[in-house]
Amino acid sequence: MIEILLLNSLLLVSQAPTPDKEFLDLKNQLEKFGFQVIIQLPPKRGAYGLLQESTKKIWINPVVFELQIGTQTIIHEAVHAAQVCAGKGKIKTLGLNIQPINYARPFFMRYTDIHRQDLEREAYAVQTQPNSFDLAISLLQQHCK
């Protein structure tokens, strides 16, 4: 019985989705700039990703790999990291001249606080660009030197 349980556990682990190269590259960039990327359930229920400004911790919910949105999630959080760097520890907008796709609108419009809406708008704007990965790397390098 224990052998079957062990075999099933190994099978599940071997089938667990893993982060792609862009995810890992962005994770390394974030860590280079002093952010800690933790792959576990964020402290906020239902969140796919979460950045805590005061500790520079970024949680990535493991479910994003199963949903195949791991890279988009870390790109979104990387924008927030750049916003923290730009604000010297306090999150602030970057003043980007791009807009998110219309599909993303409900995700940032649900915030009642206008400042939070603007922060999320920027993160979704970058996340939904065709060159989102390169843009996120560029923002980190520009603001987190």
Residues in contact with 59: Cβ distance below 8 Å, sequence separation at least 6, in sequence order: 38, 39, 40, 41, 42, 43, 47, 49, 50, 52
Alpha-carbon distance of 36 to 58, in angstroms, equals 6
Please name the amino acid found at residue 40. Q
Residues in contact with 63: Cβ distance below 8 Å, sequence separation at least 6, in sequence order: 48
DSSP 44: S
How does pLDDT run along the chain (145 residues), one tens digit per residue?
A: 555 544 444 444 445 567 899 999 999 999 999 999 999 999 999 999 999 999 999 999 999 999 999 999 999 999 999 999 999 999 999 999 999 999 999 999 998 999 999 999 999 999 999 999 999 999 999 999 8
